[in-house]
């Protein structure tokens, strides 16, 4: 699309960039379908529409894939060295990185494929560096020794959000620490005895009388002999264990906080390689954590320090990336302070400038943002945005800049760039504006930022969405999008998570192969909801059925229509069209169409995709096909011009209405429709005007009249079943007062012929009197009618009781009472009718 107009007039979506390593999964398929439905609708509504496409370099994931390849080749990234490794990843990216883009095409996603973005493109890197430097200059970004979630699997620090807590069965050891200068011991509880080697204090609660006499004194750390001060701290829970807490600032996040508060020494006994360090002492240095665990227990056992051991279930952090148990370590990392960035991002959501749907996620977002903590943004990886910080070889000088000077300004020394790269989410946070050319003031940015819509899985609400809002406000200075829609998670059919490792995944491409892209799209929209839903092949089948039905209905219309009448009769949307239409069924279906257009549009605009899909299905199948097409057939076969004109108009409107959800079949059918009258229908549906409901085509009296005919037809069919009359048998009947429409006779297979004047009357169905004829068993009819009469009596009694209740008549709204009276009257009328037949 041209970069013209304003963001208010235009419509834009930035796709949640899939990982370059990724293949399309159900989440993408659902997410992509929703975005595409909105993009297509808005495009058809005449908005200049941009759907930005691109991929994410996905630091850890991509590095892992290439490292696996290297391992298969018998080498490693270390052997290759950084530069060649990064080259190798780029090669991999060029070769496989766009797989998923092709898969989006198969889904029918109408993205801007001409402008595919990548988070490591030159311009994008420039944006990332600009942001990092700016945040550093503001003092938000800093480097510090701090306890981080160390992932031994990826050999990198990871952020709090990439940690997943799991319930684990462990052993809780109660260990005696001798009190200095007495025979007493203090017993502490731990599930990780190996970390005791790094203990630097013992803490108790300030109000705990049991330990009051020890406060200010010290214990001796078994195996090590270090002197541990006994301190008080509010964080200690006197109820847990013995009420005495060993403090290990180097290997426990809580203890770290306590340690910093009390100025305790920070001892590190576990290294980044997951092995015990020199500081663990000769006996343990070099052991793995697991080995050290056993060795420490054995040693304590030997000294008689273990008082007790108990089975203990607790939650333990694991890496979301590698699946390995997180090792909390003190490490020199880059952090970003979030409080200042969060404040305006809280406000825009509070004020609904960024709307979050469904609404309950607004509070979840706000709660998290109000308690936001510093973000560890450095990663010990090679694939990613290498942090734009340079250190001097010779002096302490540090340069934080988009481009560094040649040499150190202070001493002329060589500069060496920071080894770490940025958390992938740091760059993703800039996605909605970096893809539009920021930091330059580009036409694209002016035309399409802020974007309109973002759909996301709730698991990345904090990881990504919140950060985009913060960065959008901080840098371009505007919200990144107006609406955030948190979609449901499609689970495996059995309700478990869809996952590769569980073998529960269903590949959307297989489903497209089996059912077609339109069917999958329809199915996903129809099954989506605000809550998680199991994947349902039945819904996808329903989509296939709908596409098939459209195809067949179109065949009926296009093969029988009189093309000339298309232009001879006023189009359906013309104001004159309603008056000029002689047939009530035409006015009826046009009227029903207006309501369907209104409903589908409103559903899509409020992101109620399931209802949009199901309403389209209902209208097209039940009203258009089951009733209108059946009603209009004889006129169609007779080449009656208004039938043709109405059908062509209906088809055109329905195709346009359905197109955002079912792009392929509608485009295909439209190409045939276009051939019927090329002078009136140029182009493709994708750029067709999206249908708008017209008040002047809503015709209540036509709706009432055809509605009554439909009801009568159904009543007659029901009576036929009741009486056990074969479907092909034409019932003899007489219309009592009013002349029923020809169409009721045809649809219900009833012949209103005067010849039957002398025949016995069998039943009264509405205004129609059914007459005896040779094919009907009167005994069976009587029996079934008796049953119906009993049911009606019960209804009459119920309604009567309700209306006799003064509480009801006095307090219920008048129209409700009136409706009840009408119902009662209807039951009585039917009962009376039945009475005549026996």
Partner RNA sequence: GGGCGCGUAGCUCAGUGGGAGAGCGCUCCCCUCACACGGGAGAGGUCGCUGGUUCGAGCCCAGCCGCGCCCACCA
Please state the closest distance from residue 647 (CB atom) to RNA, in A: 11
Stretch of 26-34, 214-222, 387-395, 793-801 lying at the interface with RNA (CB under 7 A): 793-801
Please state the closest distance from residue 557 (CB atom) to RNA, in A: 8
Interface with RNA includes 533 (CB under 7 A)? yes
For residues 218-247, which are near RNA according to CB under 7 A?
235-246
For residues 631-650, which are near RNA according to CB under 7 A?
633
Stretch of 22-30, 548-556, 586-594, 735-743 lying at the interface with RNA (CB under 7 A): 548-556
The radius of gyration computed from the CA coordinates of the chain, to the nearest angstrom, equals 37
Interface with RNA includes 783 (CB under 7 A)? no
Phi first, then psi: what are they for 770, rounded to 5°?
-95, 135
Interface with RNA includes 368 (CB under 7 A)? yes
- 726/757 with CB nearer RNA: 726
Closest CA relative to residue 14, chosen from 449, 353, 357, 344: 449
Interface with RNA includes 462 (CB under 7 A)? yes
Please state the closest distance from residue 461 (CB atom) to RNA, in A: 8
- 621/672 with CB nearer RNA: 621
Among residues 220, 254, 442, 478, which is the contact residue for RNA, using CB under 7 A? 254
Interface with RNA includes 8 (CB under 7 A)? no
Upper half-sphere CA count for residue 319 (Cβ side, 13 Å): 21
- 165/701 with CB nearer RNA: 165
**Structure tokens that stand for 129 in this block:** 């560096």
Phi first, then psi: what are they for 227, rounded to 5°?
-85, 125
CA–CA dist 630, 746 (Å, integer): 10
- 514/684 with CB nearer RNA: 514
Name the maximum alpha-carbon separation found in the chain: 122
Among residues 69, 675, 721, 742, which is the contact residue for RNA, using CB under 7 A? 721
**Structure tokens that stand for 198 in this block:** 């790094």
Q: At what angle do helices 700-723 and 778-804 cross, to 10 degrees?
A: 130
CA–CA dist 268, 279 (Å, integer): 7
Q: Tell me how many residues contact RNA (CB under 7 A).
A: 87
Q: What angle do CA 471, 477, 479 make, to 5 degrees?
A: 70
Closest CA relative to residue 718, chosen from 791, 615, 821: 791
DSSP letters spanning 368-401 = HHHT---EE-EES-SSS-B-SEEEESSSS-EEES
Interface with RNA includes 305 (CB under 7 A)? no
Please state the closest distance from residue 240 (CB atom) to RNA, in A: 3
CA–CA dist 629, 621 (Å, integer): 10
Closest CA relative to residue 272, chosen from 316, 325, 327: 327
Stretch of 39-47, 125-133, 297-305, 715-723 lying at the interface with RNA (CB under 7 A): 715-723
Number of neighbouring beta carbons within 10 Å of residue 315:
10
Distance of CA 202 to the CA centre of its chain: 47
By the 10 Å C-beta count (0-12 exposed, 13-18 middle, 19+ buried), 683 is classed as: exposed
CA–CA dist 269, 289 (Å, integer): 10
Please state the closest distance from residue 828 (CB atom) to RNA, in A: 14
Interface with RNA includes 315 (CB under 7 A)? yes
| Matching residue, tokens 């990982």 | 19
Interface with RNA includes 14 (CB under 7 A)? no
Interface with RNA includes 531 (CB under 7 A)? yes
Number of neighbouring beta carbons within 10 Å of residue 636:
20
What is the contact mask toward RNA in residues 124 to 163, using x (rule: CB under 7 A)? ------------------------------------xx--
For residues 558-587, which are near RNA according to CB under 7 A?
560
Interface with RNA includes 323 (CB under 7 A)? no
Please state the closest distance from residue 802 (CB atom) to RNA, in A: 6
By the 10 Å C-beta count (0-12 exposed, 13-18 middle, 19+ buried), 487 is classed as: buried
- 236/376 with CB nearer RNA: 236
Edge-to-edge strand ranges of the sheet holding 185-190: 185-190, 163-178, 306-319
- 188/706 with CB nearer RNA: 188
Interface with RNA includes 495 (CB under 7 A)? yes
Q: What is the 3-state secondary structure (H, E, C) of 63-132?
A: HHHHHHHHHHCCCCHHHHCHHHHHHHHHHHHHHHCCHHHHHHHHHCCCCCHHHCEECCCHHHHHHHHHHH
What is the contact mask toward RNA in residues 60 to 99, using x (rule: CB under 7 A)? ----------------------------------------
By the 10 Å C-beta count (0-12 exposed, 13-18 middle, 19+ buried), 731 is classed as: buried
DSSP letters spanning 30-61 = HHHHHHHHHHHHHHHTT--EEEE-EEB--HHH
Closest CA relative to residue 766, chosen from 741, 723, 727, 735: 735
- 401/817 with CB nearer RNA: 817
For residues 180-199, which are near RNA according to CB under 7 A?
188-192
Among residues 418, 630, 703, 775, which is the contact residue for RNA, using CB under 7 A? 630
Interface with RNA includes 726 (CB under 7 A)? yes
Asked if residues 619 and 693 have their Cβ atoms less than 8 Å apart, the reply is: no
What is the contact mask toward RNA in residues 18 to 57, using x (rule: CB under 7 A)? ----------------------------------------
Stretch of 103-111, 644-652, 718-726, 830-838 lying at the interface with RNA (CB under 7 A): 718-726
Interface with RNA includes 499 (CB under 7 A)? no
Interface with RNA includes 529 (CB under 7 A)? yes
Interface with RNA includes 539 (CB under 7 A)? yes
Stretch of 105-113, 593-601, 647-655, 722-730 lying at the interface with RNA (CB under 7 A): 722-730
Helices (H), 381-459: 424-428, 431-434, 443-448
Interface with RNA includes 780 (CB under 7 A)? no
For residues 586-615, which are near RNA according to CB under 7 A?
610-611, 614
CA–CA dist 645, 571 (Å, integer): 7
Phi first, then psi: what are they for 393, rounded to 5°?
-65, -35
Among residues 314, 394, 416, 579, which is the contact residue for RNA, using CB under 7 A? 314
- 210/416 with CB nearer RNA: 210
Interface with RNA includes 549 (CB under 7 A)? yes
Interface with RNA includes 355 (CB under 7 A)? no
Please state the closest distance from residue 822 (CB atom) to RNA, in A: 12
Q: DSSP character for 324?
A: P
Please state the closest distance from residue 790 (CB atom) to RNA, in A: 13
Asked if residues 736 and 763 have their Cβ atoms less than 8 Å apart, the reply is: no
- 87/822 with CB nearer RNA: 822
- 189/599 with CB nearer RNA: 189
Among residues 527, 698, 750, 785, which is the contact residue for RNA, using CB under 7 A? 527
- 112/820 with CB nearer RNA: 820
- 80/372 with CB nearer RNA: 372
Among residues 364, 563, 708, 756, which is the contact residue for RNA, using CB under 7 A? 364
Q: For strand 327-336 and strand 227-232, is the pairing parallel, antiparallel, or unpaired? A: unpaired
Beta bridge partners, 334, equal 143
Stretch of 431-439, 503-511, 567-575, 625-633 lying at the interface with RNA (CB under 7 A): 625-633
Please state the closest distance from residue 805 (CB atom) to RNA, in A: 6
Stretch of 661-669, 700-708, 725-733, 774-782 lying at the interface with RNA (CB under 7 A): 725-733
Asked if residues 623 and 595 have their Cβ atoms less than 8 Å apart, the reply is: no
Q: For strand 117-118 and strand 54-55, is the pairing parallel, antiparallel, or unpaired? A: parallel
Stretch of 148-156, 222-230, 573-581, 809-817 lying at the interface with RNA (CB under 7 A): 809-817
């Amino acid at each position: 699309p041209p970069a013209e107009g304003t963001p208010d007039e235009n419509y834009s979506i930035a796709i949640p960039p899939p990982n370059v390593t990724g293949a399309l999964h159900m989440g993408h398929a659902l997410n992509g379908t929703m975005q595409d439905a909105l993009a297509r609708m808005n495009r058809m509504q005449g908005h200049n529409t941009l759907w930005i496409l691109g991929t994410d370099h996905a630091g850890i994931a991509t590095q892992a894939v290439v490292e696996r390849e290297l391992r298969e080749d018998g080498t490693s990234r270390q052997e290759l060295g950084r530069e060649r490794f990064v080259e190798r990843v780029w090669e991999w990216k060029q070769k496989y990185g766009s797989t998923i883009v092709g898969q989006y095409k198969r889904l029918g996603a109408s993205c801007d494929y001409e402008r595919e973005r990548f988070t490591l493109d030159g311009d994008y890197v420039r944006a990332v560096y600009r942001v990092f430097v700016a945040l550093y200059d503001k003092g938000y970004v800093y480097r510090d020794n701090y306890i981080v979630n160390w992932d031994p699997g990826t050999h990198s620090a990871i952020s709090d959000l990439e940690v997943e807590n799991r319930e684990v069965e462990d052993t809780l050891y109660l260990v005696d620490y001798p009190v200095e200068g007495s025979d007493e011991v203090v017993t502490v509880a731990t599930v990780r005895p190996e970390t005791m080697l790094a203990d630097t204090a013992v803490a108790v609660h300030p109000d705990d009388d049991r330990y009051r006499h020890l406060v200010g004194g010290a214990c001796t750390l078994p195996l090590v002999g270090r002197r541990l001060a006994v301190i008080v701290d509010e964080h200690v829970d006197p109820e847990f264990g013995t009420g005495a807490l060993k403090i290990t600032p180097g290997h426990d996040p809580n203890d770290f906080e306590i340690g910093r508060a009390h100025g305790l020494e920070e001892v590190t006994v576990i290294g980044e390689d997951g092995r015990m360090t020199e500081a663990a002492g000769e006996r343990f240095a070099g052991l793995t954590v697991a080995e050290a665990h056993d060795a420490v227990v054995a040693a304590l056992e030997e000294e008689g320090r273990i008082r007790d051991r108990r089975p203990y279930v607790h939650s333990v952090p694991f890496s979301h990336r590698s699946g390995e148990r997180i090792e909390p370590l003190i490490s020199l990392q880059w952090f970003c302070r979030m409080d200042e960035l969060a404040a305006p991002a809280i406000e825009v959501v509070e004020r609904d400038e960024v709307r979050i749907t469904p609404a309950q996620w607004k509070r979840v977002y706000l709660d998290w943002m109000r308690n936001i903590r510093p973000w560890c943004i450095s990663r010990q990886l090679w694939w990613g945005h290498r942090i734009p910080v340079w250190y001097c070889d010779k002096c302490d000088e540090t340069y934080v800049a988009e481009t560094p000077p040649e040499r150190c300004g202070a001493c002329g020394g060589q500069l060496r760039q920071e080894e770490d790269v940025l958390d992938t989410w740091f760059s993703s946070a800039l996605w909605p504006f970096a893809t539009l050319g920021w930091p330059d003031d580009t036409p694209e940015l002016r035309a399409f930022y802020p974007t309109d819509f973002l759909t996301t899985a709730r698991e990345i609400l904090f990881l990504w969405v919140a950060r985009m809002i913060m960065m959008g406000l901080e840098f371009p200075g505007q919200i990144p999008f107006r609406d955030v829609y948190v979609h449901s998670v499609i689970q495996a059919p059995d309700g478990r998570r869809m996952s590769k490792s569980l073998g529960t995944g269903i590949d959307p491409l297989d489903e497209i192969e089996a059912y077609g892209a339109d069917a999958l799209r329809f199915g996903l929209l129809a099954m989506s909801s605000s809550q998680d839903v199991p994947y349902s092949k039945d819904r996808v089948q329903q989509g296939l059925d709908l596409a098939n039905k459209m195809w067949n209905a179109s065949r009926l219309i296009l093969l029988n229509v009189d093309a000339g009448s298309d232009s001879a009769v006023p189009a359906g949307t013309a104001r004159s069209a309603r008056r000029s239409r002689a047939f009530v069924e035409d006015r009826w279906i046009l009227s029903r169409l207006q309501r369907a257009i209104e409903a589908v549009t409103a559903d899509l605009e409020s992101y109620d995709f399931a209802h949009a899909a199901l309403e389209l299905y209902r209208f097209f199948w039940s009203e258009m096909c089951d009733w209108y097409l059946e009603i209009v057939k004889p006129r169609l076969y007779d080449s009656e011009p208004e039938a043709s004109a109405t059908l062509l108009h209906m088809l055109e409107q329905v195709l346009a209405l359905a197109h955002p959800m079912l792009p392929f079949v509608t485009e295909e059918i439209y190409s045939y429709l276009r051939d019927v009258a090329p002078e009136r229908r140029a182009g493709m549906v994708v750029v067709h005007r999206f249908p708008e409901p017209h008040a002047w085509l809503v015709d209540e009296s036509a709706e009432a009249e055809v509605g009554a005919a439909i009801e009568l037809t159904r009543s007659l069919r029901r009576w036929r079943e009741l009486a056990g009359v074969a479907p092909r048998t034409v019932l003899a009947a007489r219309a009592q007062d009013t002349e029923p429409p020809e169409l009721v006779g045809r649809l219900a297979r009833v012949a209103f012929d005067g010849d039957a004047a002398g025949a016995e009357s069998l039943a009264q169905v509405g205004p129609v009197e059914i007459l005896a004829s040779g094919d009907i068993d009167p005994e069976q009819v009587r029996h079934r009618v008796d049953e119906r009469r009993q049911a009606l009596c019960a209804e009459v009694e119920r309604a009567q009781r309700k209306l006799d209740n003064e509480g009801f008549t006095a307090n219920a709204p008048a129209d409700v009472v009136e409706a009840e009276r009408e119902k009662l009257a209807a039951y009585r009328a039917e009962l009376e009718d039945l009475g005549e037949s026996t």
